[in-house]
Every structure is written in structure tokens, then in C-alpha cells.
Amino acid sequence: MRQSKLFTKTTKDAPKEEEAKNAQLLIRAGFINKEMAGVYSYLPLGLKVVRKIENIIRKEMNETLEASEIFMPALHPLENYEKTGRENIDVLFRTKLATGRSLVLGQSHEEVVVPLIKNHLFSYRDLPIYVYQIQNKFRNELRAKSGILRGREFSMKDLYSFHSDEGDLEEYYEKSKKAYKNIFKEVGIGEETFITFADGGTFSKYSHEFQTVTGAGEDIIYICESCRLAVNDEIIDESPKCPECGTKKEDLRKEKSIEVGNIFKLKRRFSDPFDLRYTDENGHEKPVHMGCYGIGVGRLMGAVLEVNSDENGMIWPESIAPFKFHLIAIGEKAEKKAAEIYDKMEEDILYDDRNVGVGEKFADADLIGMPYRVVISEKTMENDSVEIRKRWSKEEKLVKIDKLQSHV
Amino acid sequence: MRQSKLFTKTTKDAPKEEEAKNAQLLIRAGFINKEMAGVYSYLPLGLKVVRKIENIIRKEMNETLEASEIFMPALHPLENYEKTGRENIDVLFRTKLATGRSLVLGQSHEEVVVPLIKNHLFSYRDLPIYVYQIQNKFRNELRAKSGILRGREFSMKDLYSFHSDEGDLEEYYEKSKKAYKNIFKEVGIGEETFITFADGGTFSKYSHEFQTVTGAGEDIIYICESCRLAVNDEIIDESPKCPECGTKKEDLRKEKSIEVGNIFKLKRRFSDPFDLRYTDENGHEKPVHMGCYGIGVGRLMGAVLEVNSDENGMIWPESIAPFKFHLIAIGEKAEKKAAEIYDKMEEDILYDDRNVGVGEKFADADLIGMPYRVVISEKTMENDSVEIRKRWSKEEKLVKIDKLQSHV
């Protein structure tokens, strides 16, 4: 993309009331626009990152977890929440139909997906069923100060699994951990992300969270390095050791972290209130066991950014960067050559063809944070080369122009 | 896709309270699930159609109209509507933040896109700007009886253009007509869709709608066949003739129709309330002129269906069908061959490998409405062939198995 075609502008200063580093950087770089606390618009470069994250998630959902994508609405009947006893949870946004019927905005989708599946599930032959969606959630947080880490409106992937018995749920639950690990590795926070034992509510001993270590996190976890596991602060007193190797609380590493995903054995918590049952091989009615598996898309983007940024700006991993290369030309002759390079590699390049000084272009390249900055000048052209600088290591080298495309 | 992997079931009867043909068929075929009047979930086959329509729209937005995709939220501050004087329009869903601040759910996005662009628009050099999104809209309709033709929550593509003067707006507005025509042609309702003169509000003489002729439509239009234009009933008395050739109202064809798109010269209607201005070449502040351009994605899907269906079910145009072929095998030997064909063409085929009778498979193939039904049996295998039946013409012919892939 030619940067002159980008309607967004970079700015030196973040809005005063924005406290979170992730949102400050994203706003300054023109990736998002703040509408109110916890509510953001995604602008062209930001949306490109979102779509890449979504597609990484989608691939694991479709291939590893064999789930089918669906799309459920945000408007939910309040009656459904009365059935599950969640009609008074405090994060619900409430609204009303013109006819007077009470509605809430979906803060999660158990109350919609269970009645939906009930229309299609009859016999043991229909099980298991795995469905997921990528949809906006609405949570009426009293405070929303963490930028895109905790939004009032935010995109989430939520998968729901339906099983004939607990054993089958258990097996799929284990498989989901693998899919989740693949996702966090692929978006570039595999090293910093730990599977974490957390509260399982009234119906499971534990749930599992995926927690990414960052100073911006609102959670506290105790990490066992050797097992690559952690325990959430909320259960550390009840279970003051690594659940795998038994290392005691005192010897675990305490860190701030952000929850980027969670998986939960719902069992019959939501299927029973809607009387979701199936007929087994012998004609008997049996209860359905459920699991749910969430990843916040915006939150994941924010977590990647909290982990990957420096004083000059953002540093995008190649897998989710809007573009791989940020191309800058110095001097008229180089501009002509840059345009040629750009024409051949449009998809991979953000070409800064703006009529501004080189200093401003360099500063913006650091702020916007494409993985590789590519500079072409009369000097580099003497060697038929460009100078490539890795955004994260600041390592520079000359690369022949015809090798650029194959460069990693 | 193997049909046995599809969790959705077809049903003989539509829900009693569902009056609209489009929703009846989509529910029976397992494409959508009804959550409440005007609110639907999209299931795997339905979502595939939605995504294909979205991508057809996206291509025209990106390429023909050179617009940038963004994504704006559904939660809007009520204050913004007070600025434009739309705080009391009756389709607004209202809600409140936990802090007490009044919000509405986006029924359109002028009140969000204008302040957003104001953060990035300063000089004449920044104009024109074209942005669009595909996002859910919320409209608190008192009645919602038209299935996915008129939802309370529905997906819409909305494009907003920003110009330095009316002439530039005019030019882009004309270009948008071409892009819209391309879209309606590509999704299979080009013949039935007429550009229609409609009310332009207080600030334009006319707006333009794209109206698709169908008995399920809620609008009435007067068509001039030779000019391929129409006049909306709402302005026919004021302008009782074809605006192009002057043919009188009495000689125009009166039809029911559904509005599948509209384009509107907003001019300064929304830019002025937010004081959206730019500095011209001479350093003077000037007002910004806007246009907006909408297409309802679900509504377009419903319109395609109202035009393309018969007593047995749906008939999907190839461009937006979930799959091109619906493959059915008769007899064990044929099943083995069918599986081989499927393995080579997974992306294009819905393979009915369910353990049900052939009669049920044929009825479901008609209901689900893939463009081509492919039957393989011992008889067709004698000629190394399959029998292909066009869903819309019911024309059948034998085609060699190795020619199947290249078949249109």
C-alpha cells in the first residue's frame, strides 16, 4: 500500500485520558480511534492486524478442533438469562424492543448457542458438535482503562463443544489446549504465555487460562518455569504449589499477566437449564456435556503489543503485521526505483511515498512497527541493494534488490 | 464438505410464526436459526453465503471505489446524535453505561465516522477520503415480519465519502452506481434490480435506491423498461414520469420491490454539526461534502432468495452458493467412487454421505439449492459418468467423471 493513500495520520501525542500503552501506541500510529473508554474503531492498518489474528484462530478452529463457524447475534432475550440465573450479572448492557420485551447485549453466547443447538441435536449420532464464532461481545465494565485489553465492546472467538459424556468432553478439552498453544505461538507470544490453573466455578475444580506475562496485566500468576505452568492468584492459597511437579508457592515466579484465552468445562451448567438432551443407543434420554473456549481478538492484539514494543513504537511479529516491509526512499533516483519495487510486491509493502522529510518517515516507521524497514538510496543502489533493518533487533544489512522478496 | 459433518438438520416444516418465504426456506434448510423476530443466527451453510456476498461487495469497494475498510463499534454516545438532531428517531435501541452515560446502538454510522475522520482530516491534500465497513446495525423495528429482508440486527456495508466540493462528490456518486450495478449483477439479481429515484430528504432533490422486483417487497416502484430506471412510489406524484425519457406514470410498470441498496448525497448534513472542515490551497477553511452508500448484506441474501426459489426450495447462483455441487451416490459401489471424487474437489462439493434414503437426499438437495446436483450410480458408472442436473432449469445430462471439475 502507498502510505499517501492511507487516510490515517500518525501523531506525536496520545490523547491525555488514555492510560494504556497499547491504546496510546495504536492511536498514535493510526491503527485505532477511541470512541469512548473501552470502545474503539479499527482503522485500515489496525483492521489488517485483526483479520490476520482472526485467520490464525480460524485455521486452528477449523483444522485442529474440527469446529464449524457460525455467527450469532448480539441481541439476546432476557428470558434466556433468567433460565440460567445470569439475569443480574453486573456486566450486562440492557435494552428493550419497541414492543417492550427486555433484551440484553451478548456478553457471552451460552444462552443463545444452547437453544440453537437444541434445534439440531436429537440422537447420540449427532454428537459431538463443535461450533465457534468470531463476534463482538458487550460488557458494561464500570471502568475501562486498559485500552484494547479490556473493552466494553470487543471481538471474541468463542467455541462451544457438546458431548455425550464427560470423557469425550475431557478429550476435546485437552485437544483445545494444543490448538490454543499453536495460536499464541503463531501470533508471537508463545514464550510469554503460560497455561494457568484458575477457578473452575461451582462445577469444575479448575478452569484453564492462558496468561501472557506483561507489566500491563491486571492478573497475577505464579509460574513454574520447568513445567511451563502457572497458578492464578485467585486460587494460590487453596492450591499453593505447581499442580504438576509440586514446587511450592515460594519458589514460583510471581508475575503480572493478561488473560488472553480461557477454556472451561461447563459440563451441564448451561445444557440442563434449557433441557438439552439426546437419545442414546438404547433409546434413553441423556444429558449433554459442554465445554467453552474463548479468545479475545482485540485483547490478544493488545497483549502482543504490550510484549512487543519499545520507546519508539510498536514491533509487529511478521505473522500479524499489516505489511512485512516498510519501504523508504532517499532521493529522487531512489524514489523511482522504490516505486518499481513496490509495484512488484504491493501486498507485502507499505511504501512511504509521502511528501515529508526522511526523519519523519524513519520515526513513523518505528512507531508503526513493520517487521522490516527497507531503505533505498543512491548509495545502496550502487550495490543494487537496499538496506534492511529489523525492527526488533535494530540489526541492519544490505540485501540485493532481487533477493528482497525472498528475504526473511 | 461431508454432509454428515454438518450439525444442522433440514426440516419439512418452517416455524409457524415465521411468515417470510426467505426465512422459512433458510430455517428449513438449516442456513439460519431464528432467535426472535428480526434476529437470526447464521449457521455454517448460511454463513458461507454471507461471506461470499461480503467478498463480492469488498472487491468493488476496494477496486472500483478505492475505499479503505475500517470497523466501527455498535455502542454510540447519545450526545453525538443530539448534535445531528437524530436523538429521537424511533428505530434507536437505547442503553446505558454502568457510569450512567446514555448510549444508543448504531442504526447507521454517520455520528461515529464524522468525528473519526475529523481526527485525520486537516488539509485539501487529505481529500478525498473513502472509508467503508461491514458491521452489524441495530434497528428497533416495531414489527419484523420479513425474515432477513428487514432485521432488527443485520449486517450492512456502509461506505462514507468525504469531498472538497460538490463536483467531486457528484463524480464519485456516479462511480458508485457502477460499483453497485456490478455487485447486483454478480450476486445474480442484475436483471431484476433497477436504479430508482427516491426522496432526497431536505438537502438533495433525489437519492437513488437499488430496488429488486419481488412479490415479497415492501416498496412499490414504477419501472421504465427502456431506460432501466424506476421511480419510488413515495415521489411518483411529485415526479410522475421517467426522469430520463419522460414516459408517463400510466405507461410505467408498477411492481413490488425490495430496496437492496441506496446511495445518498449527504452534502453537509453530518459534517457541519461536527464542524468537519478543511484548509484549502489558499489557507481558507472550507466545509466538507459527504456521500453515503449502503448495502444490507442479509437483505441482499434474502432478495436473491426471493427471486431464486421454487416450490421445492432455494436456488443459489453459483457466485454465492455455499458449494457448487451437491453430490449424491446411489449404491455401495457408487459411494466408493463418490468419496474419491469428493476427495479431489472438497472445496466445491457438498457430499451427502448421510445414512438416509435417496428420496430424502434428493428432496434435501432441492431444498438446499446448490447450483448443480451430481448423481453417481452403477448405471452412470457404466459410462464413467455422473448425471448432472441444473437446479434452476432441471435440465439433466451425463458428464464424464474426469470432465466434472471443468463443468459449468
Task: Summarize pLDDT for B158-180 with one digit per residue, the tens.
Answer: 999 999 999 999 999 999 999 99
> Do the chains contact at A116 and B152, CB–CB below 8 Å?
no
Chain A residues lying within 8 Å of B163, measured CB to CB? none
Residue ranges of chain A assigned to CATH 3.30.930.10: 13-310
Residue B311 has pLDDT above 90, yes or no: yes
DSSP A234-286: GGTTTS-B-TTT--BGGGSEEEEEEEEEEEEEEETTTTTTTT-EEE-TTS-EE
Residue of A75, A99, A111, A288 best to disrupt the B interface, most CBs of B under 10 A: A75
Q: Does A248 touch chain B (CB under 8 A)?
A: no
Q: Is the peptide bond before B322 cis (omega within 30 degrees of 0)?
A: no
pTM of the model: 0.97
Helices and strands in chain B, H and E counts: 10, 23
List the grid coordinates of A373. 524497514
Query: Which of A40-49, A126-135, B274-283, B396-405 is the least confident region?
Result: B396-405
Chain A residues lying within 8 Å of B40, measured CB to CB? 73
Among B68, B97, B141, select the one facing A44 at the smallest CB separation.
Answer: B68
> Do the chains contact at B77 and A152, CB–CB below 8 Å?
no
Chain A residues lying within 8 Å of B105, measured CB to CB? 95, 105
Instruction: Collapse the DSSP code of A88 into the 3-class scheme (helix H, G, I; strand E, B; otherwise coil) and give the result.
Output: coil
Q: What are the per-10-residue average pLDDT scores of chain A (408 residues)?
A: 96 89 96 96 98 98 98 98 96 96 98 98 97 98 91 97 98 98 98 94 82 94 96 94 94 97 96 98 98 97 96 96 98 96 95 96 98 97 96 92 82
Among B30, B71, B142, select the one facing A98 at the smallest CB separation.
Answer: B142
> Do the chains contact at B41 and A112, CB–CB below 8 Å?
yes
> Do the chains contact at A142 and B7, CB–CB below 8 Å?
no
Q: Which pLDDT value is given to residue B98?
A: 95
Torsion (CA) A311, A317, A323, A324 in degrees, nearest 10: 100
pLDDT grade for B20, boundaries at 50, 70 and 90: very high
Task: Name the residue in chain A with its Cα closest to that of B122.
Answer: A9
B372-377 and B325-330: which strand pairing? parallel
pLDDT grade for B200, boundaries at 50, 70 and 90: confident
pLDDT digits (tens, 9 = 90+) for A176-214: 999 999 999 999 999 999 999 998 876 677 899 999 999
pLDDT digits (tens, 9 = 90+) for B341-378: 999 999 999 999 999 999 999 999 999 999 999 999 99
Q: Which pLDDT value is given to residue A394?
A: 83
Among B97, B112, B126, select the one facing A140 at the smallest CB separation.
Answer: B97
List the grid coordinates of A163. 458431548
* CA–CA dist A323, B66 (Å, integer): 19
pLDDT grade for B406, boundaries at 50, 70 and 90: confident
8-state DSSP, B228: T
* CA–CA dist A296, A110 (Å, integer): 16
pLDDT grade for B14, boundaries at 50, 70 and 90: confident
Q: Which residues of A112-136 are buried (b: 16+ CB within 10 A; e: fewer)?
A: bbbbbbbbbbeeeebbbbbbbbbbb
Among B6, B70, B74, select the one facing A74 at the smallest CB separation.
Answer: B74
The CATH class of B7-310 is alpha beta
B46 neighbors B27 (Cβ within 8 angstroms): no
Q: A67 to chain B nearest CA, in Å?
A: 10
> Do the chains contact at B30 and A120, CB–CB below 8 Å?
yes
Q: Which pLDDT value is given to residue A36?
A: 95
* CA–CA dist B368, B320 (Å, integer): 13
**A·B CB contacts under 8 A:** 139
State which amino acid sits at residue B232.
N
Q: Does B93 touch chain A (CB under 8 A)?
A: yes
Mean pLDDT of chain B: 95
Task: Name the residue in chain B with its Cα closest to that of A125.
Answer: B4
Q: A79 to chain B nearest CA, in Å?
A: 12
Q: Which pLDDT value is given to residue B203?
A: 67
State which amino acid sits at residue A81.
Y
Q: Does A78 touch chain B (CB under 8 A)?
A: no
Q: Which pLDDT value is given to residue A406?
A: 80
Residue ranges of chain B assigned to CATH 3.40.50.800: 323-406
pLDDT grade for B15, boundaries at 50, 70 and 90: confident
Chain A residues lying within 8 Å of B70, measured CB to CB? 41-44, 47
Chain B residues lying within 8 Å of A43, measured CB to CB? 70
Instruction: Collapse the DSSP code of B240 into the 3-class scheme (helix H, G, I; strand E, B; otherwise coil) and give the result.
Output: coil
**Grid cell 550502487 in the structure block, residue:** A382
B291 neighbors B176 (Cβ within 8 angstroms): yes
Task: Name the residue in chain A with its Cα closest to that of B111.
Answer: A35
B266 neighbors B200 (Cβ within 8 angstroms): no
Q: Which pLDDT value is given to residue B156?
A: 97
Residue A356: strand pairing partners? none
* CA–CA dist A352, A339 (Å, integer): 10
* CA–CA dist A163, B59 (Å, integer): 40
A179 neighbors A61 (Cβ within 8 angstroms): yes
Among A8, A35, A73, select the one facing B73 at the smallest CB separation.
Answer: A35
Q: Which pLDDT value is given to residue B394?
A: 82
Q: Does B156 touch chain A (CB under 8 A)?
A: no
State which amino acid sits at residue A295.
I
Residue of B34, B62, B75 best to disrupt the A interface, most CBs of A under 10 A: B75
Q: Which pLDDT value is given to residue B278?
A: 98
Q: Is the ipTM of this complex over 0.90?
A: yes
Instruction: Collapse the DSSP code of B46 into the 3-class scheme (helix H, G, I; strand E, B; otherwise coil) and give the result.
Output: helix
Backbone phi and psi for residue B8, each to the nearest 5 degrees, phi listed first: -75, 150
Give CA A230 to chain center in angstroms: 20
Chain B residues lying within 8 Å of A29, measured CB to CB? none
Residue B320 has pLDDT above 90, yes or no: yes
Which residues, in sequence order, are CB contacts of B191 under 8 Å at separation 6+? none
* CA–CA dist B6, A346 (Å, integer): 38
Go through chain A and tell me how many residues it has: 408
List the grid coordinates of B344. 479431489
Q: Smallest Cα–Cα separation from B235: which of B247, B243, B244, B227? A: B243
Among B9, B42, B116, select the one facing A33 at the smallest CB separation.
Answer: B116
pLDDT grade for B408, boundaries at 50, 70 and 90: low
* CA–CA dist A53, A155 (Å, integer): 11
DSSP A316-359: --TTT-S-SEEEEEESHHHHHHHHHHHHH-GGGEEE---SS-HH
B224 neighbors B252 (Cβ within 8 angstroms): yes
Chain A residues lying within 8 Å of B35, measured CB to CB? 72-73, 75-77, 112, 116
State which amino acid sits at residue A231.
V
Q: Which fold has domain A323-406?
A: Rossmann fold (3.40.50)
Residue A402: strand pairing partners? none
Among B39, B96, B120, select the one facing A8 at the smallest CB separation.
Answer: B120
Task: Name the residue in chain A with its Cα closest to that of B100.
Answer: A142
Chain A residues lying within 8 Å of B75, measured CB to CB? 35-36, 39, 93, 138, 152-153
DSSP A118-134: HTT--BGGG--EEEEEE
Residue ranges of chain B assigned to CATH 3.30.930.10: 7-310
Q: Does B140 touch chain A (CB under 8 A)?
A: yes
Residues 97-116 of A with CB under 8 A from B: 97-99, 101, 105, 112, 116
A13-310 is classed in which CATH architecture?
2-Layer Sandwich (3.30)
In A88-235, alpha helices (H) = 110-118, 166-186
Task: Name the residue in chain A with its Cα closest to that of B97.
Answer: A140
List the grid coordinates of A309. 514494543
> Do the chains contact at A97 and B136, CB–CB below 8 Å?
no
Q: Does A36 touch chain B (CB under 8 A)?
A: yes
